[in-house]
Chain A
Amino acid sequence: MDAPYWEHFHHEADIGVRGVGRTLAEAFEQSASAMTAVITELERVRPLIEVPVAVEAPDVEYLLFQWLNELVFLMATRRMLFGRYRVDIAHRRLTGTAWGEPVERPRHRPAVEIKGATLTALEVRRRDDGLWLAQCVVDV
């Protein structure tokens, strides 16, 4: 598969989200897309509203944990879904933007709500092929 891309991976009770990209930031963006795809089809979410995101963490893996959980928080409190993401990462600090729209159940047909991103199978690293990988299991 050509990077960047996202995919899901197996967890017995829940589901894993994985983003792969040419840069760390791209892998983070893709992991967020993978998370949206747990809830609904990405193409169904229109990028109508722009929401800024900023998180920081002691290391790059906790940064992924923070990033995804910030999105879970924003989805829950704003009743929104996001379909597009843009991320910048510098010194374990992430600033980014999520584009989306309020949940419309007939159109988005959301399957599940995400309770949180977990530390399970949490991994952020550069693969042997030079691409970046960012993944963890999300609790649904």
Chain B
Amino acid sequence: MTVITPTQISENTWRIEPRGEMRVPAILYADHELIEAMDHKVFEQVSNVAALPGIVQAAYAMPDAHWGYGFPIGGVAAFDPDEGGVISAGGVGFDISCGVRTLHTSLSLERIQPVKKRLADELSRSIPAGVGSTGRIHLSAKQMRDMLQRGARWAVEQGYGEEADLERTEEHGYMAGADPTMVSDRAKQRQMNEMGTLGSGNHYLEVQVVTDVYDETVAAGFSLKEGDVVVSIHCGSRGLGHQIGTEFLQSMALSAGRYGIRLPDRELACAPLQSDVGRRYLGAMRAGINCALANRQILTHLTRQVFEAVLPEVDLLLLYDVSHNTCKEESHEVDGHRRRLFVHRKGATRALGPGHRDLPMGLREVGQPVLIGGSMGTGSYILAGTKESETLAFSSSCHGAGRAMSRRAATKRWRGGDVVKELETRGILIRSPSLRGVAEEAPQAYKDVNRVVDAADRAGLSKKVARLEPLVCIKG
């Protein structure tokens, strides 16, 4: 196989010209060192995506791109349904609508320090996390259907949270067009005990402090200043989403030939948007998005209960909830024309710029918060969507640090207990049912999130607003 090498076209932009079956170029946003360190599989995968039917403009890779499943993780691609465009289960990912939400606590670091340990213990008791954990909410068939149709709105109606949370959630709390009947009984069965659970792996709930502010104006628009304490929750659609992903991956791979799609790689499994399989997946995937939104809403409620018990005067207000594994129908301008496109973001965050009509009033002036999860030790970032991002990658940005080392290599190098102790000396309290899980998630196993965020900022995908450091981390 020929080695694919991207050509640098500006400081943070690289391009792979169409070759072979590529219909459009591939564009990668990264600095020189990130590109150097990137697995060559990313170049191959993003080129494969550029060969899919109906792709518009280019296949994109974000600065944190790494080797994924068919699509790179950190990949963005838009498809036109009227030009044979496709939808791909691998282009969304197994963890449908995995994402981050961040809540203000309106507390300062000084106020939180004396109760930090208690908060860590209470949160780890109240937030179901890790393998074998069970949520306290068990849904009947009807409740399941309602939840899949109405997402976080359903959760708020059940008493998990406030109406105001919905305005600060993408899609105003629920994804329209969800079709719970397209979600298999097995997927629903897998979700029975998993509502309101965090999961495992890189999912977390963190209490964090704002250590740096880079843009005072936007930070003020987000009501953030240095020393503020926030809570961030990173998780997705749990077993339901995983099962939908698994089932459609196979049915799309098997039906591709029938729709005349030649897959360079089986895992690129996709189906035309205007096909039976495509429509069924769309309905199921949107239900998966609602499951993730409801799940994060329930976890928010559990978090608020803990804070109320420990710090009764505190009110946790939602800054924003944004997903980074989705396919969404959006309107974009391409070569001067408005087009209705289906934008896949796999490990990429939507980043709407100032003035976008989908943003709630409080955020419309400053742009959408782009919530970037780092590792347990290195910190996270809040960025803001920019106007230019619309023309760069259909208003998308990075989503996290991305792994630099496999899980196995990490467990060989570090012991979970040592990682916990080391972080504790730096004032970071880790609570996890699994020390091996902690070792696998050791901060050094991740790429440098600072570099990823800087590249996203300099490329114009989104701009840096604030940096967060963990105080407490609940891991699955």
Residues of A within 8 A of B (CB): 8, 10-15, 38-39, 58, 62, 65-66, 69, 72-73, 76-77, 79, 102-105, 108-113, 115-120, 122, 137, 139-140
Contacts and interface: CB of A to CB of B under 8 A. Distances in A.
A13 B68 contact: yes
Contact of A115 (B94, B132, B269, B402): B94
Given A119-B266, A120-B267, A112 B249 contact: no
A69 B434 contact: no
A13 B269 CA distance: 19
B408 A15 contact: yes
Given A12-B67, A118-B249, A119-B70, 16 more contacts: A10-B409, A12-B403, A72-B242, A73-B243, A76-B194, A109-B435, A109-B436, A110-B132, A112-B131, A112-B200, A112-B407, A112-B440, A112-B476, A115-B245, A116-B249, A119-B90
A117 B242 CA distance: 10
Nearest to B263: A119
Contacts of A79: 132, 134, 193
15 contacts: A8-B408, A13-B73, A39-B131, A72-B246, A73-B243, A77-B239, A103-B131, A105-B130, A105-B433, A109-B435, A112-B434, A112-B476, A116-B246, A120-B70, A120-B267
B132 A103 contact: yes
Nearest to B249: A119
A13 B245 contact: no
B189 A13 contact: no
Contact of A113 (B189, B200, B406): B200
Given A79-B134, A105-B130, A119-B266, A11 B94 contact: no
A12 B199 CA distance: 20
Which of A39, A62, A109, A111 has the most B CB atoms < 10 Å from its CB? Answer: A111
B269 A140 contact: no
Contact of B94 (A15, A112, A139): A139
B56 interface: no
Interface in B109-161: 130-132, 134
B199 to A, nearest CB: 6
Interface in B404-456: 406-409, 411, 433-437, 440
Nearest to B246: A116
A79 B269 CA distance: 30
B387 interface: no
A84 B379 CA distance: 41
B261 to A, nearest CB: 15
Contacts of B131: 39, 103, 105, 108, 110-113
Nearest to B404: A12
B190 interface: yes
A15 B407 contact: yes
